[in-house]
Amino acid sequence: KSRFIEMFGDPIRNVKGWKTGKMNDVAPVVNYKGDFNKCKVWLLNLDMVESNTGNIIGYNYVTTDEIGNSTCTFDTTNILYSKLRPYLNKVVIPNEIGYATSEMVPLQPVRGVLNRYYLAHMLRNKSFVDYISEKVSGAKMPRVTMNEFRSFEVPIPPIELQNQFEDFVKQVEKLKFEMKKSLRELEDNFNSLMQKAFKGELFN
């Protein structure tokens, strides 16, 4: 998060003076029109999305017959933004095509203008979350007022800088993955040693 602020500044105050564009122009809401030619497709519900990180907690695959009407479709060029209870901060960068609950809005960053990693992190930024959390309607189930969302002026830094940020994010994700893998291996080795110790096999 601090790297985002360091590179781009606060997205609400736009202190770096980047040019801006309305969300509706630079990342319009779209539905994937391609073919789902698989037996089972990914169906993403909000409870499967981790707050603040957008990590997927679990993948649910269903047949197209099992998908209800209240859904949207997306592909790997989209970002999924949850309009329900925006303070929960659920923004996903999908890694495959699928269906999602209609509480999620599929955004299509305009190529060469907005990088989806930049946009996702801007939407997750605390300043933006605080700002948009006030632009809601509905007391029990507060949802973002889409007119307000669509008209938000998105700061647009040079695409080269946005792409550099994507490289940084992917590098961090790779390191995290490798660290988790190493920890799992250590844990497995430790458990194996403990089992041998209990069986008296270590010193035979």
127-165: pLDDT as tens digits: 999 999 999 999 899 999 999 999 999 999 999 999 999
**Percentage with pLDDT > 90 across the chain:** 74
Q: Could you tell me the residue range of the domain that residue 107 belongs to?
A: 2-199
Each as own residue / partner, the long-range contacts of residues 125-131 (CB below 8 Å, 24 or more positions apart, any chain) are: 125/1, 125/4, 125/5, 125/10, 125/11, 126/1, 127/10, 127/11, 127/12, 127/13, 128/11, 128/12, 129/86, 129/87, 129/89, 131/12
Phi first, then psi: give them for residue 2, nearest 5 degrees.
Answer: -65, -30
**14 pLDDT above the threshold of 60:** yes
* pTM for this predicted structure: 0.84
In a domain, 162, yes or no: yes
- Give the count of domains, the chain: 1
**171 pLDDT above the threshold of 60:** yes
In a domain, 27, yes or no: yes
Q: Checking DSSP bridges between strand 71-74 and strand 98-101, what pairing results, if any?
A: antiparallel
Helix (H, G, I), strand (E, B) or coil at 137: strand
**28 pLDDT above the threshold of 70:** yes
In a domain, 119, yes or no: yes
**What is the tally of helices (H) and strands (E) in the chain?**
6, 11
In a domain, 204, yes or no: no
Handedness of CA 122, 125, 128, 134 (dihedral sign): positive
Of the two residues 39 and 161, the one the predictor is more confident about is 161
**Residue from 12, 6, 34, 24 nearest 123 by CA:** 12
The model's pLDDT over 77-111, given as tens digits with 9 standing for 90+, comes to 999 999 999 999 999 999 999 999 999 999 999 99
Q: What is the CATH number of the domain that holds 81?
A: 3.90.220.20
Mean pLDDT of 192-198: 80
pLDDT band for position 57 (cuts 50, 70, 90)? very high
pLDDT band for position 204 (cuts 50, 70, 90)? low
Q: What is the mean pLDDT of the chain?
A: 92
In a domain, 51, yes or no: yes
**191 pLDDT above the threshold of 90:** no
Burial zone of 100 (CB within 10 Å; 0-12 exposed, 13-18 middle, 19+ buried): buried
**181 pLDDT above the threshold of 80:** no
